[in-house]
Structure 1
Amino acid sequence: MRIVSGKEMYEADRFTMEEIGLSGAMLMENAGKALFEAMKDRLQVHERIAVLVGTGNNGGDGFVLSRYLKENGFDVDVWVIPPEGKVKGDAAAHFGFFKALFEWKAYKDGESFNKHLSEYGVVIDCLLGLGVSGAIRSPYNHIIQKVNKSSVVVLSVDLPSGLKADGGFEGEYEPIRADRTYTLQCPKLSAYLYPDADYYGELEVIDIGLPRVAFSKALQRKLWTELSVAHTLTDRTASSHKGSHGKGLVIGGSKGMVGAPIMTAKAAYRSGAGLIQAAVPEEILSMTAGTLVEAMFRGWPSEGGFFSGEVPENLSFDGIAIGPGLGRLDGGSKMVEAVLASDTSLVMDADALYHLNELKDQLKGRKGTTVLTPHPGEMARLTGLSIQEVQNNRFEVSRSFAEEYNVYLVLKGPYTVVTSPDGTQFINTSGNSALAKGGSGDVLTGMILAFIMNSKSIHEGISNVVYVHGKAADVLVQSNHSTLDVLATDVIDTIPAVLHSFLE
């Protein structure tokens, strides 16, 4: 499913009207009817419903929806917030159709609306939609706060009023807090950005008949779902052998961070890697060797429990993962520089990203696949932005960096964004807050290492990993765990069940 910005949605509407020839009034009719069909089974005929209508296209959709509701016997009051003369264009045409058939209520000073608000069981929000810019202005700010403080069920059309399509609401007043949002044709970016996503409630996408070609100029952003994994995840062939599925190297660990590379290596094996070697500082070799009997552990030159920076063997592997437990001393920086100079497929996480900040120009000329897996704080350091700037612009920050540095970028967090070097983005839909715990990133790194050595499409392979990683956390929380108690090792132990569910 495609995800669009506000500008891309406006362009799709323009294309449909000006280049295909469908009128705006017809599109509004289609939208209102589609909304009615989606909502009707959730509404009770005798429950009192208030439809709040603004000036723009969102309000026009509200007039059409209200007409269908009243024609089908629903108890609806339509509150027109602006003065009647300020409703323009296609919305004004549908206002005319509505008032020729039914009565409506003028908001005026809001006194009557405030008096009757408690009488409604449902409020349908058709106030602002895509039309908001800047802070929410009067009287909409007062209406929204009144609705938010009430106990009424709120259904929003397209997006909750007060939110911007691209995220980042402004001002002292919060947007309307919907119980369910019926978004038109395509989800908007803010549905996958926090805190904006909290205001959507449940999200349902309504097809209003815009042709696919209308989105031909939009950037490629799609949801990565269970169905996406089912269509792209492949099993081993009957004739395969361990060499068929990749020889991987994990570089990590240090004094006090012994467990990180072990989890990465184990997650790689659980995700299909054929052979895994783990390189750790010599001083901790005795603590790691034997913890995972399937892996080969090698002690590399070290000082004080940290890598000295010397690479004692040829990096002739199908893939390398570096960073988990690496440490932030100079030896770690030398290790990162060494792997960047190789042509091997590379996954960089944790402390490797810390060192990469001074070496990132070396990414541009790499021949091998490069995957970076930053959390927002690491992304902020790599870009020189604040964490808040990264979070408010996750899609654009990811795309710009991936294109500039020729990398696959996995920007972690709720709705993890996986961006390819050409700017295509897949947005993950699995996972929960149980993953907000030490070690989760180490597990993800090992899983990605396995999949980039085994996937025909690197972008699909990484996206499958992110989904399976999140799904493992979902399975744990839905069974006998809470979001508080899940460990990274629990996630590793659940990978087999998730993979089996797709491959059985």
Structure 2
Amino acid sequence: MYLVTADEMRKMDEHTIFSLGIPAVALMENAGCQVAREVEAFSRTMMPSRSQGAPHWAILVGKGNNGGDGLVAARHLIDSGIEVTVVYAQDPDTLVGEAAIQRDAARKLGIRQAVYGADPIEWGRFDGIVDALLGTGSSGAPRGQVASLIRDANQSGLPILSVDIPSGLDPDTGQIHEPCIKAAKTVALAFLKRGLAQYPGREMAGEITVANIGIPRQLAERFQVAVHLLTPQVFEQRFGLDTTLPRRPDTHKGTYGHLLVCAGSQAMSGAGILACRAALRAGCGLVTWAAPATLMPSLIGHVPEAMLLGIQEGWTYPQAVERLLAAIRQRQAAVIGPGLGRFPGDTAWLRTLWEQTDTPLLLDADALNMLADAADFAAWPQRTAPVVLTPHPGEMARLCGVSTAEIQRNRIEVARHFAQKHRVLLVLKGAATVIASPDGDAYVNPTGNPGMATGGSGDVLAGIIGSLLAQGYEAKAAACLGVWLHGAAGDRAAAGRKGMFSLIAGDLIEAL
């Protein structure tokens, strides 16, 4: 499923109108009709009328095309037997273009109307609200009458259905302005907007439906839309993958790769346990856990399916490098970083592994902090084999030299820029994890839940993606599929417990 920016949507809309010859008023008619259908379904299934008669909806209308969509919906709702009052945010005579055409049609049909600020609005008369105030063409915080109307709508306690995006939401980043509509449902028109798939916008949108309004889907390819929402259909169409990961009968453990996990220290040996167990559960044929030899006696038996490789010198530099280089070269992929700790010369240690191996690498946790401390990271040579970085927002902030808040303000573009600049696969973890590749593509993951915000969850993700790399999955597919499987396992684990609050990282492994 494509995720589009406001500018991409505008270009596709204009191409449809001016190049394909489909009139703007026809697109508006389609949009309003789809919105009306969703209101009807909402009325039937989610909010039975509080009165004995038909449900009564307030249609909040702004002066742009979003308002025109709302006016079309009002006509169709009247025809279906639902009562409607159109509430204009401003003098309706200020409407222009297609919105003015719809205003005139509503007037001729005698649809009940009110002007906010000039006429009294009795919110208690309504059963629901359609938010058709501000679309993707608006920018910045709502002002004046529109801002006041948004606040009143939110305070009414009525369920709100937003047209395209909740008014006050940034369509590209998902950031919310003050004020912003808190919708129970959003009907995205033609394509899902990026802001609806990212937090906090995703939370403000409620349930989301994408409605076809006559803009051809193929235009997304023509206009090089590069961001997608991960779904089983996307895996099938873009990667040729079945998310159930079926296996041929004539295979053996060697078929599914050998992963090296370089993880663990005295204080954080559990990170290696989690990463190794997750890698095995994700289907890797063989896993070897490399850790300081001093830890070996305490690790025996914790992951009986994994082999152990004790590094006599620990993680010291340069003493341990040759042993690790040989181990990495003998495997199909390596995970470096979970619970590793920091040590003298660690950045040079990591650069040696980066430069002197042709094996796919996944760098997590302390390995990312080593990268952040490398003043010359931008000058490190491009690897012939892929590298996947899996930072959480704090680690990403250190890598970029900015604040965590700045990372969170525009996660998709931050991830895309970093992946393209450094030629890496970047997995920016968090709610709605973003996966960005060097070719400019990015994917947003919809699976997962807040219960996964627990220590060790990232180690599990590192093990899953590392496992897929070792099994021979292309790096972009491995990162995307690993993130999706990780979130889906979290959802299954939460469903089997009394609440998300009790999830621990080990639950995710068992739910894979």
Q: Give the TM-score band, short-chain normalised.
A: over 0.9
Contact 1:193 1:391 in 2 (8 A): no
- Please state if 1:34 is matched with 2:34: yes
Determine helix, strand or coil for the equivalent of 1:139.
helix
Q: Distance in 1 between matches of 2:116 and 2:288?
A: 72
In the alignment, which residue of structure 2 is the partner of 1:320? Answer: 334
Q: Distance in 2 between matches of 1:62 and 1:54?
A: 9
Contact 2:6 2:137 in 1 (8 A): no
1:431–1:388 CA distance, 2 compared to 1 (3 A): same
State the one-letter code of the partner of 1:422.
D
Determine helix, strand or coil for the equivalent of 1:205.
strand
In the alignment, which residue of structure 1 is the partner of 2:246? Answer: 235
In the alignment, which residue of structure 1 is the partner of 2:108? Answer: 100
In the alignment, which residue of structure 2 is the partner of 1:500? Answer: none
Q: Distance in 2 between matches of 1:166 and 1:201?
A: 17
TM-superposition CA deviations, 1:87-109 (whole Å, max 9, x none)? 01111111112211123423152
Q: Report the more deviating stretch, 15-24 or 237-246.
A: 237-246
Q: 1:79 aligns with which of 51, 66, 87?
A: 87
Q: Distance in 1 between matches of 2:492 and 2:404?
A: 30
1:390–1:276 CA distance, 2 compared to 1 (3 A): same
The Cα shift of 1:283 comes to 1.9
1:289–1:363 CA distance, 2 compared to 1 (3 A): farther
Q: Distance in 2 between matches of 1:120 and 1:364?
A: 64
In the alignment, which residue of structure 1 is the partner of 2:46? Answer: none
Q: 1:279 aligns with which of 290, 296, 309?
A: 290
In the alignment, which residue of structure 2 is the partner of 1:150? Answer: 156
Q: Distance in 1 between matches of 2:258 and 2:175?
A: 48
Contact 2:333 2:469 in 1 (8 A): yes
State the one-letter code of the partner of 2:195.
S
1:128–1:50 CA distance, 2 compared to 1 (3 A): same
In the alignment, which residue of structure 2 is the partner of 1:137? Answer: 143
In the alignment, which residue of structure 2 is the partner of 1:498? Answer: none
| TM-score, structure 2 as length reference | 0.91
Contact 1:163 1:175 in 2 (8 A): yes
Q: Distance in 2 between matches of 1:375 and 1:235?
A: 31
Q: Distance in 2 between matches of 1:194 and 1:183?
A: 16
- Please state if 1:449 is matched with 2:466: yes
TM-superposition CA deviations, 1:51-90 (whole Å, max 9, x none)? 0101000000011110111122211111122212210111
TM-superposition CA deviations, 1:101-153 (whole Å, max 9, x none)? 1234231525502xx11211101110112132112101111111111111111
TM-superposition CA deviations, 1:183-220 (whole Å, max 9, x none)? 10111111122222221011111111101233221432
1:244–1:380 CA distance, 2 compared to 1 (3 A): same
Q: Report the more deviating stretch, 30-39 or 153-162.
A: 30-39
State the one-letter code of the partner of 1:6.
A
TM-superposition CA deviations, 1:143-196 (whole Å, max 9, x none)? 11111111111111101111121136566x320111111110111111122222
Identity %: 36
The Cα shift of 1:243 comes to 2.1
The alignment of Structure 1 onto Structure 2 pairs a total of residues equal to 490
Contact 2:257 2:472 in 1 (8 A): no
- Please state if 1:333 is matched with 2:347: yes
Q: 1:58 aligns with which of 58, 63, 66?
A: 66
Contact 1:80 1:104 in 2 (8 A): no
In the alignment, which residue of structure 2 is the partner of 1:480? Answer: 497
The Cα shift of 1:322 comes to 0.2
Determine helix, strand or coil for the equivalent of 1:484.
helix
Q: Report the more deviating stretch, 47-56 or 377-386.
A: 377-386
Q: Distance in 2 between matches of 1:420 and 1:213?
A: 22
In the alignment, which residue of structure 2 is the partner of 1:159? Answer: 165
TM-superposition CA deviations, 1:287-321 (whole Å, max 9, x none)? 12332122121221446xx5445224213121010
Q: Distance in 2 between matches of 1:451 and 1:169?
A: 33
1:335–1:80 CA distance, 2 compared to 1 (3 A): same
In the alignment, which residue of structure 1 is the partner of 2:366? Answer: 351
Q: Structure 2: any 5+ residue segments left out of the alignment?
A: 44-48
Contact 2:388 2:475 in 1 (8 A): no
Q: Distance in 2 between matches of 1:345 and 1:127?
A: 49
Contact 2:141 2:179 in 1 (8 A): no
1:393–1:202 CA distance, 2 compared to 1 (3 A): same
TM-superposition CA deviations, 1:441-470 (whole Å, max 9, x none)? 111111111101224443223222211111
Determine helix, strand or coil for the equivalent of 1:183.
strand
Q: 1:405 aligns with which of 411, 419, 422?
A: 422
Q: Report the more deviating stretch, 426-435 or 218-227.
A: 218-227
The Cα shift of 1:18 comes to 1.1
Contact 1:13 1:214 in 2 (8 A): no
Q: Distance in 2 between matches of 1:47 and 1:84?
A: 25
Q: 1:180 aligns with which of 162, 179, 185?
A: 185
Determine helix, strand or coil for the equivalent of 1:413.
coil
Determine helix, strand or coil for the equivalent of 1:244.
helix
TM-superposition CA deviations, 1:251-287 (whole Å, max 9, x none)? 1111211111121111111111122111111221221
Contact 1:252 1:324 in 2 (8 A): yes
Cα RMSD after superposing both structures:
1.9
